[in-house]
Amino acid sequence: MISYRTDARPSADIIADLYRRSPLYRPVDDVARVAAMYAGSNIVLSAWDGDKLVGIVRGWTDGAYDGYICDLAVDPGYQKQGVGRELLTLAASQNPRIQWVLRASKIAADYYSHIGWQKIENGWFWPRGE
């Protein structure tokens, strides 16, 4: 039975381990950076199977108008069971007046459209320096 939590911030080690398994390409060998990513995020929702973290979504919102989903990771053994969809639904349901955007990884490019997200064409980004 999967439980969803809005009140749990797993340790950076546990999150990095989930990212490795999922695979979500993030700086998993720099646990301090993963910790900083989560410390700066005001949206953290997690999925648990008992004590095991099996899914997580991280993002930011101003709480009134805009929101950005930074990361969605689901353990491969739990994919195709609605875990990712539920995490995104929980994020979006916090305030229906917020427009959420995200940048899909190449391995998940087709995932979002089948769960109702709409593709946007008017985005831009400034590349990060490593």
Question: Who has greater pLDDT, 67 or 112?
Answer: 67
Residue 127 has pLDDT above 80, yes or no: yes
Domains of the chain: 2-114 (3.40.630.30)
Ranges assigned E (strand) in 12-85: 43-49, 52-61, 66-74
pLDDT at 109: 74
Tell me the C-alpha distance between 71 and 107, whole Å.
Answer: 13
The structure's pTM equals: 0.90
Per-residue pLDDT band at 110 (split at 50, 70, 90)? confident
Q: What's the pLDDT tens digit per position in 14-35? A: 999 999 999 888 999 999 999 9
Tell me the C-alpha distance between 75 and 73, whole Å.
Answer: 7
